[in-house]
Amino acid sequence: MSRQKRIGVLTSGGDCAGLNAVLRAVVHRAVEGYGWQVVGIHNGTAGLLARPVDAEVLDLGIFDGNLLRRGGTILGTTNKGDPFDFPMADGRRIDRSEEVIEGYRQLDLDALIGIGGDGSQDILRRLAQQGGIDLITLPKTIDNDLGHTEVSIGYATAVKIATDALDQLQPTAASHSRVMVLEVMGRDAGHIAIGAGIAGGADVILIPEIGYSLEGIARKIESLKARGRNFALVVVAEAVKTETGDAVRQVQGDGSSTYGGVGQYLAARIAEETGSETRVTVLGHLQRGGPPTDHDRLMASVFGVYAVDLIAAGRFDRMVAWSGRQVVDIPITDAIAGYKAVDIAGPLVRTAQGLGIYLGELPEDSEGARTGRVAESVGS
Ligand code: F6P
């Protein structure tokens, strides 16, 4: 009798809503559809570095409760500890990739599903190439910056949470005649900011892809006041720089740094420039942990089932993607290489301009600038 097939699954990088829904779909399809066993590896590649290897068999029963609805990942994850450049306690950085591959071999797996963003997928692919691992990846990132897929798990929920925050801030802004600044995540891309800003009725949306001026922001706020509006909503993506071009970052105990603080900077500058009372809300990790939206659950389910079907078909080194209303698969290398910032000539930028939102000073050759929409939005 042939041995039962065993596949591994891990979550890697920052957590986000919808990861448990992916795991549920993978386990359902593999166990019920093909009669395979699924091994969940804990804490991304850290689980494969641990000895004994840190992993558990995932039974269908685990998913009978409310996991479809729960944020986070039951497997745990990490966005630190690149095995090719691993930080040791004594300060050295060493290559531990062979140990990870050895850990994978100890689990006696036939294939691996890695759920991660571009950084995680890059690491997993290098491990797969080096160790002969049959790998499939699934796109997840609240930042929505992976190329070649119209959907990454976690983005829809992050946008919903940021939109809800604007819904909650608006009444207080109006009651107290304030400018409310909402700082959102997104790493180097402005997808969350522009999505939530449009959906949540922001007056100013600042994204790293477009430079801005304080005069431009002030003009927008003054124009609102001139037509009788007593408040304004400003959304700023965490990677937006100061006027002098400096990134605003928080230094951590280990010397590394993360984005954070540009909202505070802007609120102070807007207060100086316009005389408005300003307040700041930094949404931070609230954008990652909530229950997944219906859209994230749906896509997580589609991606999870399809990933297992790819393994059954023997198609490896592929990332599952959503394109043109279809689930498809593309080479992982294409996905990693296709970093996707906000398209400044794309539909969301045009929509924001059409709504009179101040987005910054768009370059002359962008579509919006050509049609004169920038001037209209600043002056509206
Ligand atoms: O990539 C997801 C993300 O949430 C970014 O939007 C953010 O810059 C970063 O991770 C925060 O990382 P950490 O959880 O390490 O603070």
Q: What is the pLDDT of residue 362?
A: 86
Say if ligand 1 is within 6 A of residue 155 CB.
Answer: no
pLDDT at 297: 98
Cα distances from 159 to residues 43, 191, 196, 231, in angstroms, run 26, 9, 5, 22
pLDDT for residue 368 is more than 60? no
Asked whether the beta carbons of 338 and 358 are under 8 A apart, the reply is no
Both tokens of residue 142?
């609240």
Q: How many domains does the chain have?
A: 2
Q: Do 49 and 145 fall within a single domain?
A: yes
Residue 185 CA to ligand 1 centre (angstroms): 7
Q: How far is the CA of 69 from the centre of ligand 1 (A)?
A: 22
Please report whether residue 333 resides in a domain. Answer: no
pLDDT digits (tens, 9 = 90+) for 214-234: 999 999 999 999 999 999 999
Do both 266 and 313 map to the same domain? no
Q: Tell the residue nearest (CA) to atom 12 of ligand 1.
A: 14
Tell me the per-residue pLDDT of 84-130, one tens digit each, with 9 for 90 and over.
999 999 999 999 999 999 999 999 999 999 999 999 999 999 999 99
Tell me the angle at which helices 262-274 and 214-226 cross, rounded to the nearest 10 degrees.
60
User: What pLDDT does 380 receive?
Assistant: 23
Q: Which of 69, 9, 19 is nearest to 42 (CA)?
A: 9
pLDDT category of residue 162 using cuts at 50, 70 and 90: very high
pLDDT in tens, 240-254: 999 999 999 999 988
Q: How far is the CA of 329 from the centre of ligand 1 (A)?
A: 26
111 lines ligand 1 (CB under 6 A): no
Check whether residue 144 and residue 105 sit in a common domain. Answer: yes
Give residue-wise pLDDT tens across range 163-177. Answer: 999 999 999 999 999
Are residues 314 and 259 part of one domain?
A: no
If asked whether residues 62 and 110 sit together in one domain, one would say: yes
User: Does 369 have pLDDT greater than 60?
Assistant: no
Tell whether 172 and 302 lie within a shared domain.
Answer: no
pLDDT at res. 365:
59
Domain range spanning residue 77? Answer: 6-153+292-323
Helices (H), 147-213: 155-176, 191-199
120 lines ligand 1 (CB under 6 A): no
Average pLDDT over residues 197-213: 98
Give me the CATH number covering residue 237.
3.40.50.460
Q: Which of 258, 288, 342 has the most ligand 1 atoms within 8 A of CB, as the residue to mutate? A: 258
Closest by CA position to 274, among listed 358, 183, 364 = 358
Both 124 and 197 in one domain: the answer is: no
CA distance 116 to 258: 19
Quick one: pLDDT at residue 254? 83
Residue nearest to atom 6 of ligand 1 (CA): 186
Question: In this structure, which residue's CA is closest to atom 14 in ligand 1?
Answer: 14
d(CA 142, CA 243): 26
In this structure, the answer to whether residues 227 and 310 fall within a common structural domain is no
The answer to whether residues 85 and 121 belong to one domain is yes
What's the pLDDT at 205?
98
Q: What is the predicted pLDDT for the residue at 255? A: 85
Q: Is the CB of 256 under 6 A from ligand 1?
A: no
Positive/negative CA dihedral, 158, 208, 201, 370: negative
Same domain assignment for residues 17 and 126: yes
Q: What's the gap in Å between 187 CA and the centre of ligand 1?
A: 7
Residue 21: inside a domain: yes
Beta bridge partners of 115: 11, 138
Residues 6+ apart with CB under 8 A from 5: 34, 35, 36, 37, 110
What percent of the chain has pLDDT above 70? Answer: 95
